[in-house]
Amino acid sequence: MSIENPNQKWRFWPVLCLAFIFAFASPLLMVATPLYFLDQGIEIKFISLLSVAITITYSVSPILLTKFSDRLGRRKSIIISMIGAASLQLLFFITLNPVVFLIERLLEGFVLGFFFPNLTASISDVPNIDHQKYLAMFNLSWSIAIIFGLIFGAIILLFTETVFIFYISPIILIVNIFIAIFLFQQPTLTNFKPQDNITNFNTSNPENNQDSTKTSNYFIPVIIPLLFILYTSFAAGNGSFLYPIRAYLLGFSDSSTYIVNIFAVVGQSITMYFASVLALNKLKLVSIVILSVYPFLFIFFIFNEVYFLFIILFLFSGFFYGMLYGAASKLFIALNVLKNTSKYSGILESSTGLTFFVSMLTLGFIADINVLLGYFSLTLSLLIIFFITLVFIRKLKEVERT
């Protein structure tokens, strides 16, 4: 994969800007979708479909578009995705019809297959950099942007109707189009061997790497990060779907739904950063503990009706979610580097989309019967995934490479 000016030093900050702006806009629609269509009297089952429509096509588009991305390059692929997403959102906002919204989200999910894999793969493309450091900054930028996006959404809903959120999102994406065209730089892949960067994922203390004659790495089965993604996708169904319905039934304001999600993302941003820099042996242990504890947190959502306690619950949920998703992201990036490929970025995004679609649709049909039953099924689902993960996580072990 080439670059227009190979002699120009690769710039990382446009990657951060693209991630920040998209992540700023993303939660605006994520929370507004169930709130707006509940007000319109749409059935909960159909609302769940509207909420996950973007993931239906996104679950396959990163893999289907991989070869096209390789031909086009990172930069052109990102430009196409942002132009497509902004144009499709503008199309829906002309009518605000739920069927049109469904079609728009399906098409948008497909074009975003050009965006996320190329954005994350642009980090692993670059040889001789500290990938853990750059991944940590990427995750931190993403999380901070979501926080600001949720704060912005909460403020907007204090002064206007939920529908106004839908008009703001495409304007924000237009900013990303200009960044992708004029500022994003495609990295150069020359004389790069995957073993050159193996030390970036050393499980020992980084300060000891200079004195080590052998590099100690982990054997990483792909099933482990995939199970982490499946687990977090079910957990994400709370903030983006179950809780908005729960809050609506309890009579909480729409802006309050954005506020509790802010606390979740604050916790998420902290632990995602630690997951990015934590040694893999410690990350494995912490992940097992969280996998076993996290399911029981959602039991409290069934019995609680106090808004302040929901804030605390969302904060802890963010802590747990961030560590697990950060671990999955780190393992996929490690696989990219160790095997000198970008396909695991596509697998990360496709698996995220597919599992989120399955989890949200499942929770939607159950919540249509009773939202509290949805929380019970969420707890049960997470426990099942936890026990399955225990079987495979033993294979995540240290190996010696000379």
Q: CA distances (Å), 29 to each of 131, 146, 258, in order?
A: 31, 12, 11
CA-to-CA distance for 339 and 354, rounded, in angstroms?
24
Instruction: Summarize pLDDT for 130-166 with one digit per residue, the tens.
Output: 766 787 788 778 878 988 999 999 999 888 888 889 8
Give residue 251's pLDDT: 92
How many helices and strands, by DSSP H and E, does the chain display?
Answer: 17, 2
Instruction: Summarize pLDDT for 85-125 with one digit per residue, the tens.
Output: 999 998 877 777 899 999 999 999 999 988 988 887 787 77
Which tokens hold the place of 92?
Answer: 């829906």
Listed as own residue / partner, the contacts of 210-214 with beta carbons closer than 8 Å and 24 or more positions apart are 214/400, 214/401, 214/402
Give residue 22's pLDDT: 94
Q: Sign of torsion, CA 162 168 172 174?
A: positive
One DSSP character per residue, 13-41 reads: HHHHHHHHHHHHHHHHHHHHHHHHHHHTT
Contact present, 371 and 242 (Cβ < 8 Å): yes
Q: CA distances (Å), 33 to each of 167, 235, 257, 389, in order?
A: 13, 18, 12, 32
Which tokens hold the place of 208?
Answer: 């000891």
pTM value is 0.75
Tell which phi-psi region holds residue 11, choosing left (phi > 0), alpha (psi between -120 and 50) or beta. beta
Which tokens hold the place of 59?
Answer: 């679950």
Contact present, 268 and 143 (Cβ < 8 Å): yes
Contact present, 349 and 116 (Cβ < 8 Å): yes
CATH of 13-186+210-401, one of 1.20.1250.20, 3.90.1530.10, 1.10.760.10, 1.10.357.10: 1.20.1250.20
Q: Would you write out the chain's pLDDT as a tens digit for each of its 402 residues? A: 334 444 457 788 899 999 999 999 998 988 899 989 998 999 888 998 998 888 888 878 888 888 888 888 888 999 999 999 999 998 877 777 899 999 999 999 999 988 988 887 787 777 777 766 787 788 778 878 988 999 999 999 888 888 889 889 999 999 999 999 988 887 665 444 444 433 333 333 333 333 332 323 667 888 888 999 999 989 998 988 899 999 999 999 989 999 999 999 899 888 988 887 888 888 889 999 999 999 999 999 999 999 999 999 999 999 999 999 989 988 887 787 777 666 776 677 677 778 888 888 888 889 888 999 999 999 999 999 999 999 988 887 766 655
Please tell me the total number of residues recorded for the chain in this structure.
402
At 1, is the secondary structure helix, strand, or coil?
Answer: coil
